[in-house]
Structure 1
């Protein structure tokens, strides 16, 4: 069973919270009207991280670019279209005083 502790009493209950985590038990933190978080032991954290793909995995730009190219539908791009025909503003821009 998950132990629950009020966030208002976290300073006074910190020893009990640490003891629960050391036993491998998760600890639920409660705000005034809702659950605001769960603390888990280091072992549980490692187990959870290993069981799912980490959003923070280290990947080089090149790896990400290659993955994008594999997923992107390049057939939707017509090479005869001038993709950049209307992207530049034809106006002369602002006046510059030297």
Structure 2
């Protein structure tokens, strides 16, 4: 469970909050009873963003881990999905 502080409490107790984050805790910040932010350690932030992949990486992973035949989907279902036209004319 996240530790929770209001924006007022955060202003008053920032050094203590920062120590908690440094020890690995994540802190939820609330304003008028609504969650507005999460403070987390740099290490946790980098761990989370390293999981993100590009669209192309996600598509390749999907293709590697999904057996279309098993799902009774023809392998050519993706053929012709991308529009091969050059696009609209741009006037400078």
TM-based fold match above 0.5: yes
- Hey, which of these two has a bigger chunk of helix by percent? 2
Partner of 1:28: 28
Gaps of 5+ in 2: 55-80
Alignment: residue pair count: 64
Measured on the aligned residues, the alpha-carbon RMSD in Å equals: 2.7
Flag the structure with larger Rg. Answer: 1
**Per-residue deviation, residues 25-75 of structure 1 (Å, max 9, x unmatched):** 100001113100101101000100101137xxxxxxxxxxxxxxxx84126
**Structure 1: which 4+ aligned runs deviate by more than 2 Å?**
none
What's the TM-score, normalizing by structure 1?
Answer: 0.55
In the alignment, structure 1 residue 73 sits paired with structure 2 residue 83:
yes
What's the TM-score, normalizing by structure 2?
Answer: 0.58
